[in-house]
Amino acid sequence: MKFPIYMDNHSTTPMDPRVLEAMLPYFIEKFGNAASRNHQFGWEAEEAVEHARKQIARLIHCDAKEIVFTSGATESDNLALKGIVEMYKEKGDHIITCSTEHRAILDTCKSLEKRGIKVTYLQVEKDGRVNLDAVRNAITDKTILISIMLANNEIGTIHPIAEIGKIAKEKGILLHCDATQGVGKIPVDVEALKVDLMSFTSHKIYGPKGIGALYVRKKGPRVRLVPQMDGGGHERGMRSGTLPVPSIVGFGKACELCEQEMPTESARIAAMRDRLQAQIMKDLDECYLNGHQTERLPHNLNISFAYVEGEALLMGVKEIALSSGSACTSATLEPSYVLRALGVGSDLAHSSIRFGLGRFTTDEEVDYTAKRMVAAVTRLREMSPLYEMAKEGIDLKSVQWAVH
């Protein structure tokens, strides 16, 4: 086993060596600008880009012409929301989204609110899924866009996008889906999901960082948006800027590998994830799974370990790379807003650990991680005044805490 063990694949993934190999010729040898129309350097680069575009389109079952390259899912989210709001401003000024979206969506919505756009942030149920009736009831005659993520980055919960798509189509409203965590892990078909725009990125699927895409529907309906990056009209006028050819080649190769390997890979990873969960939970009491039990990404696990704080837990397993919903681990010193939205109390939010398995995770690593987690939780519970009080039969919710 190599240490440290990487089990934080929601945050990013290592590049697949095959992806790196595909990229290499495009740095020094075939380095042309894909927009140079008049010489071989340009033609070679353009050919590589178009080939990658097809590989990417195949993974999500769209036409290659419907792929717009961006610097990543954050930019794709910005482009989708701002681009649509600006294009359809005569039609309306209301967006519907969800409180558990990634910051790339939430912060963009906040920015749009400053411009006078109205945003409805739907609550989720206890299992993390958005309620279909809530979506329907939130629609007004000024609604121009619904944006719901395919799968949540913290708790892995998969939303009923196809059903939301059906509602959106009925009402003639565009549907954007941030599919960053789902693409390459579960089958994604833009027709089946009935989405009109979809964001995703390369670095979550063993490709390079700094490149992503926005799917923009061309037919049924033809979606138009106002570009957010001006300067030359690249990507059908939707996103200007010289294309990073090596990164695009890598992105394409990463998608191709996912398409080929996903059926067996996702099953294998899900089995390891289930074993990790079983091994942890059989030896520890008061562990709570956060998110939906079955509508969940195959490689995600998010568990709250009552009476133990997340950052201290991570310190106890510092040879394993994980992440936590604890306030101490966040840049803003706030506990995870996703867990809070589920109705998980702040105390359990502080006690949560997210496990993200991946293509390169081994059975050995899973078994080791389970053992170490159990040991670390047990040790910290011995040190915990809350565990002591709970064992004495005190109801912690009834205690008057002396907060300073």
Partner 1 sequence: MAYSEKVIDHYNNPRNMGSLPKDDLQVGTGIVGAPECGDVMKLQIKVEDDVIVDAKFKTFGCGSAIASSSLATEWLKGRTVAEAYTIKNTAIVQELNLPPVKIHCSVLAEDAIKSALEDYKKKSLAATGETK
Cite the active site residues.
Answer: 328
- Residue 41 or 288 with smaller CB distance to partner 1: 288
- Residue 17 or 401 with smaller CB distance to partner 1: 401
Quote the CA–CA distance of 359 and 372 in Å, as a whole number. 21
Write down the least CB distance from residue 342 to partner 1, Å: 15
The DSSP bridge pattern shows strands 300-305 and 287-289 to be antiparallel
Phi and psi, residue 123, nearest 5°: -80, 165
- Residue 35 or 327 with smaller CB distance to partner 1: 327
∠ at Cα 179 (177, 181), nearest 5°?
150
- Residue 293 or 400 with smaller CB distance to partner 1: 400
Assess contact for 327 and 269: CB atoms under 8 A.
no
Write down the least CB distance from residue 373 to partner 1, Å: 16
Going from the C-alpha of 202 to that of each of 54, 169, 244, 358, the distances in angstroms are 15, 29, 13, 14
- Residue 228 or 330 with smaller CB distance to partner 1: 330
Q: At what angle do helices 245-283 and 40-60 cross, to 10 degrees?
A: 30
Assess contact for 267 and 349: CB atoms under 8 A.
no
Write down the least CB distance from residue 401 to partner 1, Å: 4
**Interface with partner 1 (CB under 8 A):** 307-312, 315-316, 326-328, 333, 335, 345-347, 350, 382-388, 396, 401-404
Which ranges of 232-362 would DSSP assign to H, the alpha helix? 245-283, 310-316, 337-341, 346-350
Write down the least CB distance from residue 172 to partner 1, Å: 44
Write down the least CB distance from residue 385 to partner 1, Å: 4
Quote the CA–CA distance of 359 and 298 in Å, as a whole number. 11
